Structure 1
Amino acid sequence: MDRRKFFASAGTAAAATATLAAPAIAQSAPELKWRLTSSFPKSLDTIFGAAEVFAKNVAEASDGKFQIQVFPAGEIVPGLQAADKVTDGTLEMAHTASYYYWGKDPTFAFATAVPFGLNSRQQNAWMYEGGGIDLMNEFYAAYNIHALPGGNTGAQMGGWFRKEIKTAADLKGVKMRIGGFGGKVIAKLGVVPQQIAGGDIYPALEKGTIDAAEWVGPYDDQKLGFNKVAPYYYYPGWWEGGPMLHFFINKAKWEGLPKNYQAIITGAAALANTDMQARYDHLNPGALKKLVADGAKLRPFSAEILEACFNAAKETYAEMNATNAAFKKVHDAVMAYRADAYLWQQVSEATFDNFMMAQQRKKAL
């Protein structure tokens, strides 16, 4: 073989390959700058911080070619209008709670939490393995949204009350800030629900515009100072057993992304989803001890109240199922999943936890 001809032909082939490959690589990793609005103020570093964790990992995984700028609630969009701006294409993304938009359609609530629904582990399992992501995205398509899980607070607290609540009758006439679908259920017990963005809750409580408010749990509640204006701190937040946040992405923008960028977003969202609950689980114990030390009066909702609320929830679900086919489709899937999930968790998980909690109460831990 003529060596000169071989290397000449090899060089020509390599050059041709490089010419073909370069545009393909460039097309698969374009430089993009997106904007993401959060529904939460920057001061709530744990819940707002999930969007920052997400954006940081998207940038790092794309070698800085895919930049997502995160804005706190109110800076470019009011917190409760985040989904609207994703739907109409004003913004590429939002980090929000799906149940904020239950007024458009109560089906939105299932992606975050519904009364006496799934706990956080069950919500993750349903979303990632039980078809929840696909089922919710089938619903979101009508709003030009593609959504991915983006965090969980774990079971939330039942809120701060100006007066002690001992019976279901004590709830009548209480003006309470309560997010999402839970407000519709608790209204059956005489509560007057108020939907107020996180940053506006404290002044409403302080001025007496509302009598009670729920937000998240000890760490955030301490930062917001609710214990200074409402001393009774109730648990559990039965309307939010495993409230999940989501990254809402404009559907057309999502579909226009290269597959590798879709994979990067999916992975970064999953990391943010895990990171948020880990941070809450780490920070809540110390915050709860500090709140109690500062005078917060920790109280469980009575069995009577929980039973009345559970029955009100079942009644509300039946009403919704009768008039909303989309709601019924997701409801039936979630509740079937809930039945099997609790069948399993009561066997080993709950038994272990109950024993360990008994040891904690005996100060044996």
Structure 2
Amino acid sequence: MTPNRRRFLGASAATLASSAVAMPALAQSSPEIKWRLTSSFPRQLDTIFGTAQTLSKYVAEATDGKFQIQTFPAGEIVPGLQALDAVTAGTVECAQTATYFYIGKDPTLAFGTGVPFGFNSRQQHSWWFFGGGDKIINGVLAKYNAFAIPAGNSGCQMGGFFRKELNTVEDLKGLKFRIGGIGGQVLAKLGVVPQQIAPGDVYPALERGTIDAAEFVGPYDDEKFGLVKVAKYYYYPGWWEGGAMLHNVVNIDQWNRLPKHYQAIFSNACEAANNWMLAKYDMVNPPALRRLVQQGCELRAFPNAILEAGYKASFELYNEIAATNPSFKQALDSMNAIRAEQLVWWQIGEYAFDSFNIRMRGKS
């Protein structure tokens, strides 16, 4: 036997021996795990709820089906606005939700999703990963035995459907508007009467005149609710949600029980799902907007006077809350500093490029 053949056989034997040890060890470190995810959103919103299903699919594929996440729409396990409570209690392992639903626990959580006149979707993402946003929001969520991983973004939303036209700030006074969270608090400063109404009840409330206006997400989802049939004025932009970030909120105890490579797979699946949701909305919103116009909606830009009043009211509210809430102040200071830097770059880069392309639309 030649020296080379002896070395090859020796190396092969060593490889087989190490594989015999490694394969059972790998199997032991890849247990079969089943989690339940409750969403704050109904099944009919196939992009938002579909993001949770996409996340589950990615995790299962990456673990050869050993890590399964069963997804449930709002109401099947708990109501949509109780998703964080279900995670805290351990009723479910994780939840697809928006942290601004829980500003009653701590208003700082509004910044996790986005606040009026805050970041756009990319700026929000940058703030979370590189501006300390994750530490601020997860510092608050730790009190509820939970932490959040970004897992979706709507992009800039629409301002909603209104039964009457808006021309001045005075037109907002007494307006019963289906809007929640900190955006509702800002609009209350301008005389709006915010209404918290579940998605399934919005259409009948508008039809009966119980409310005067309603916002939800954007053209694709708004079309599903049929609001154009009962309110024809469709306003933009949704300045209270310039890039609404969704999260997968996870029970800390359950997270710590996962093998490290399952944690890595889950985190990367959240990021992939985040990109999937934003990309899909960018594709489906334009044709949906065109269909809504064909169905009779009249597009209206919010008058500058309303935008300026909303901006002023927003930062008045933020400063009032920051005066008594240190974590809110930390988030506000962080957002203001990073936003000031970001806007200079966006004006030179993204905004200049997009504005030119918009002006040239139809000329190529």
Q: TM-score, normalised to structure 1's length?
A: 0.93
**Aligned position for 2:34:** 33
Q: Distance in 2 between matches of 1:337 and 1:312?
A: 21
Secondary structure of the corresponding residue to residue 210 of structure 1: coil
Map 1:333-348; keep pairs closer than 5 Å: 333-348=334-349
Between 52-61 and 171-180, the greater mean CA deviation after superposition: 171-180
Between 200-209 and 279-288, the greater mean CA deviation after superposition: 200-209
Secondary structure of the corresponding residue to residue 148 of structure 2: strand
Q: C-alpha displacement at 1:151, in angstroms? A: 0.7
Q: C-alpha displacement at 1:128, in angstroms? A: 2.2
Q: Distance in 2 between matches of 1:97 and 1:10?
A: 54
Matched, 1:200 2:201: yes
Secondary structure of the corresponding residue to residue 91 of structure 2: coil
Q: C-alpha displacement at 1:47, in angstroms? A: 0.8
Q: C-alpha displacement at 1:210, in angstroms? A: 1.3
**Aligned position for 1:178:** 179
Please tell me whether the aligned partners of residues 160 and 235 of structure 2 are also in contact (alpha carbons under 8 angstroms). Answer: yes
Mark the CA change 1:11 to 1:118 in structure 2 (over 3 Å): closer, same or farther. Answer: closer
Secondary structure of the corresponding residue to residue 239 of structure 2: coil
Secondary structure of the corresponding residue to residue 323 of structure 1: coil
Secondary structure of the corresponding residue to residue 181 of structure 1: helix
Secondary structure of the corresponding residue to residue 205 of structure 1: helix
Deviations for 1:110-148, whole angstroms, at most 9, x for unmatched residues? 010101000011011111222322332122111111211
Matched, 1:165 2:169: no
Structure 1 letter corresponding to 2:321: M
Please tell me whether the aligned partners of residues 136 and 327 of structure 2 are also in contact (alpha carbons under 8 angstroms). Answer: no
Structure 2 letter corresponding to 1:271: A
Deviations for 1:307-338, whole angstroms, at most 9, x for unmatched residues? 00100011001100001111111111112111
Structure 2 letter corresponding to 1:190: G
Q: C-alpha displacement at 1:211, in angstroms? A: 1.1
Please tell me whether the aligned partners of residues 82 and 96 of structure 1 are also in contact (alpha carbons under 8 angstroms). Answer: yes
Q: Distance in 1 between matches of 2:222 and 2:202?
A: 10
Please tell me whether the aligned partners of residues 80 and 197 of structure 1 are also in contact (alpha carbons under 8 angstroms). Answer: no
Structure 2 letter corresponding to 1:364: K
Q: C-alpha displacement at 1:14, in angstroms? A: 8.3
**Aligned position for 1:251:** 252
**Aligned position for 2:363:** 364
Please tell me whether the aligned partners of residues 114 and 240 of structure 1 are also in contact (alpha carbons under 8 angstroms). Answer: yes
Secondary structure of the corresponding residue to residue 86 of structure 2: helix
**Aligned position for 2:101:** 100
CA RMSD of aligned residues (A): 2.2
Deviations for 1:55-112, whole angstroms, at most 9, x for unmatched residues? 0000000000000000111111111111110011110011011111111111111010
Q: C-alpha displacement at 1:179, in angstroms? A: 2.6
Identity of aligned residues (%): 60
Please tell me whether the aligned partners of residues 103 and 181 of structure 2 are also in contact (alpha carbons under 8 angstroms). Answer: yes
Map 1:201-216; keep pairs closer than 5 Å: 201-216=202-217
Map 1:128-139; keep pairs closer than 5 Å: 128-139=129-140
Q: Distance in 1 between matches of 2:273 and 2:135?
A: 19
Please tell me whether the aligned partners of residues 146 and 254 of structure 1 are also in contact (alpha carbons under 8 angstroms). Answer: no
Q: C-alpha displacement at 1:42, in angstroms? A: 0.8
**Aligned position for 1:263:** 264
Q: Distance in 2 between matches of 1:121 and 1:41?
A: 26
Q: Distance in 2 between matches of 1:74 and 1:145?
A: 21
Matched, 1:145 2:127: no
**Aligned position for 1:222:** 223
Deviations for 1:338-361, whole angstroms, at most 9, x for unmatched residues? 11111100012111111111122x
**Aligned position for 1:273:** 274
**Aligned position for 1:4:** none
Please tell me whether the aligned partners of residues 29 and 65 of structure 1 are also in contact (alpha carbons under 8 angstroms). Answer: yes
Matched, 1:324 2:325: yes
Question: Runs of 5+ in structure 1 lacking a partner?
Answer: 1-8
Matched, 1:46 2:50: no
Please tell me whether the aligned partners of residues 99 and 179 of structure 1 are also in contact (alpha carbons under 8 angstroms). Answer: no
Mark the CA change 1:217 to 1:12 in structure 2 (over 3 Å): closer, same or farther. Answer: closer
Q: TM-score, normalised to structure 2's length?
A: 0.94
Q: Distance in 2 between matches of 1:125 and 1:13?
A: 47
Please tell me whether the aligned partners of residues 135 and 330 of structure 1 are also in contact (alpha carbons under 8 angstroms). Answer: yes
Map 1:4-83; keep pairs closer than 5 Å: 21=22, 24-83=25-84
User: Would you say how many aligned residue pairs link Structure 1 and Structure 2?
Assistant: 360
Q: C-alpha displacement at 1:11, in angstroms? A: 11
**Aligned position for 2:125:** 124
Question: Runs of 5+ in structure 2 lacking a partner?
Answer: 1-9
Deviations for 1:164-186, whole angstroms, at most 9, x for unmatched residues? 11111100011111132101111
Secondary structure of the corresponding residue to residue 323 of structure 2: helix
Q: Distance in 2 between matches of 1:92 and 1:181?
A: 27
Please tell me whether the aligned partners of residues 156 and 240 of structure 1 are also in contact (alpha carbons under 8 angstroms). Answer: yes
Matched, 1:286 2:287: yes
Q: Distance in 2 between matches of 1:334 and 1:11?
A: 58
Please tell me whether the aligned partners of residues 205 and 229 of structure 1 are also in contact (alpha carbons under 8 angstroms). Answer: yes
Deviations for 1:244-300, whole angstroms, at most 9, x for unmatched residues? 010011111112211100000011100110010111110111011111111101000
